[in-house]
Amino acid sequence: MDAQLVARAREALRGRLHPTPLVRSATLSERLGREVLLKNETHQPTGSFKVRGALAALAALEGEAARRGVVVASAGNHALGVAWASRQLGVPALVVVPETVAIVKRRALEEMMVKLRVQGRDYDEAEQIARDIALEAEATFVSGYEDPWVIAGGGGTIALELCDERPDLSCVVASVGGGGLLGGLGVGLDARADGSGSAPQLVGVCAAASPAMKRSLQDGRVYRRWDAEPTLADGLAGGVAERTVALARVHARAILLADERAIACALEHAARREGLLIEGSAACALAPLLDERAAAELPGDAGPLAVVLSGRNIDRAKLRAAIASV
């Protein structure tokens, strides 16, 4: 997993996906006393950054592998990305989502006419089912957070866009589930460093209900499975992988936690103050900026800071309930 793979992933996206907006938040800039920019992956055709990695991974398949197709497991957004990429490239795909999948994501998958199975009590169980299916069908299993092309195409290409538009960034904040987004961002940001070690500082934020990455780094072991508590950030639930933990150890300055109230507050802030519809996983990255103590500890002094808003796919009823709880 290196800068060359990120560059190749960017070429795979060229002409199929356009760079997403990087917008200044007046409210957060004033609140923090430093410029805050929001990277709106909500503008992707599937409503999430996950389509980047899915497209890069499927585009890399050749010959018999492309003909046999792919099998994926997902809490929803990776599945949507693979379904979209499958239609663009003509690569067959089967997606497995857990029984806990958000209604809005399941309906979107059904509308895309992709082969869909709803199996497993949680993401980790759905992933094992998907891996077994892929092995039996001699298809390629494409992990939503561990596959090198997914990491490079997702966080890696986002990092390149951030540096292209704002080479003066001092800090980038992103949510962390399996760790693919964080790892790709780290590789991409460091690839654009000017040789003096001045890459933006990278901060990850886990949902407190599923802190597998933070605990893996603290305990010196990889928690491939994690029994997450119910969380608004359902896309972040589950375990991590050796590759993503290794990348986080090298590239991440800190891993923070956001509890459910903090995530709900971030959803409310995004809707009412920023005019943005985001999902709980994206709100997780926004949460530290709304907490005075956590915001004060974000690195990069007073330089420009970017927050990656990873997606918008949230059930409206869940969003209304979260906002009402604040």
Residue given tokens 């991409």 in the structure block = 188
* Helix, strand, or coil (residue 205): strand
The one catalytic residue in 39, 48, 50, 175 is: 50
C-alpha–C-alpha distance, residues 288 and 297, integer Å = 9
Short-list 81, 78, 74, 80, CA closest to 55: 81
Q: Which residues pair with 311 in a beta bridge?
A: 48
Q: Which of 249, 324, 262, 264 is nearest to 295 (CA)?
A: 262
Output DSSP code: residue 144. T
Sign of CA dihedral 50, 213, 211, 132: positive
Dihedral of CA 11/17/18/22: which sign? negative
| Whether residue 310 lies in the annotated active site | yes
Given 48, 74, 216, 310, the catalytic residue:
310
214 is catalytic: no
* CA–CA separation, 276 and 278 (whole Å): 6
Asked if residues 271 and 3 have their Cβ atoms less than 8 Å apart, the reply is no
DSSP letter for each residue of 72-91: EE-SSHHHHHHHHHHHHHT-
Which three-class secondary structure state does DSSP give residue 204?
Answer: strand
Sign of the CA dihedral with 313 first, then 215, 56, and 17 last:
positive
The Cα–Cα gap between 144 and 10 comes to 17
- CB within 8 A of 293, min separation 6: which ones? none
Please identify which residue in the block is written with the tokens 């949902």: 207
CA 131 to CA 218: how far, in whole Å?
28
Residues with catalytic roles: 50, 310
